[in-house]
Amino acid sequence: MEWLQKFKKNGLLLIIPVLIVTCSGSGNSNIRQEQWVDLFNGKNLDGWDLKITGFDLNDNYNETFRVEDDLLKVRYDQYENFDGRFGHIFYEEPFSHYRLKVEYRFVGEQAPGGPGWAFRNNGIMFHSQSAASMERDQDFPVSIEFQLLGGDGENDRSNGSVCTPGTHVVIDGELKTAHCTSSSGPTHHGDQWVVAELVALGDSLIQHILNGEVVMEYSGTQLEDGTPLSGGYVALQAESHPTDFRSVRILNLKGCMDTRAKNYKSFFVKSDPGACEY
Dump pLDDT digits (tens) for 193-247: 999 999 999 999 999 999 999 999 999 999 999 999 999 999 999 999 999 999 9
**Structural Rg of the chain based on CA atoms:** 19
> Is residue 6 domain-resident?
no
Rounded distance between C-alpha atoms, residue 151 and residue 216, angstroms: 18
Residue 30 binned pLDDT confidence (cut-offs 50, 70, 90): confident
Cα first-last separation, the chain: 30
> Is residue 21 domain-resident?
no
> What was the pLDDT predicted at 31?
86
> Is residue 191 domain-resident?
yes
Q: What is the mean pLDDT of residues 174-187?
A: 97
> Is residue 85 domain-resident?
yes
Q: What is the mean pLDDT of residues 164-176?
A: 98
Question: 32 pLDDT exceeds 90?
Answer: no
Number of domains present in the structure of the chain: 1
Rounded distance between C-alpha atoms, residue 198 and residue 195, angstroms: 10
Rounded distance between C-alpha atoms, residue 87 and residue 169, angstroms: 24
> Is residue 61 domain-resident?
yes
Q: Write out pLDDT tens, residues 51-88.
A: 999 999 999 999 999 999 999 999 999 999 999 999 99
**77 vs 17, more confident:** 77
Please spell the DSSP secondary structure of 159-216, one letter per residue: -S-EE-TTEEEEETTEEE-SSEE--SPPP--TT--EEEEEEEETTTEEEEEETTEEEE
> Is residue 265 domain-resident?
no
Q: Is 174 exposed, middle or buried (0-12, 13-18, 19+ CB in 10 A)?
A: exposed
Q: Is 86 exposed, middle or buried (0-12, 13-18, 19+ CB in 10 A)?
A: buried
> What was the pLDDT predicted at 277?
97
> Is residue 116 domain-resident?
yes
Question: What domain range is 147 assigned to?
Answer: 38-254
> Is residue 269 domain-resident?
no
CATH of the domain at 149: 2.60.120.560
Question: Quick check: helix, strand or coil at residue 75?
Answer: coil
Which of 145, 84, 81 minimizes the C-alpha distance to 118?
Answer: 84
For residue 72, give the amino acid letter. L
Q: Is 8 exposed, middle or buried (0-12, 13-18, 19+ CB in 10 A)?
A: middle
Q: Which residues pair with 228 in a beta bridge?
A: 222
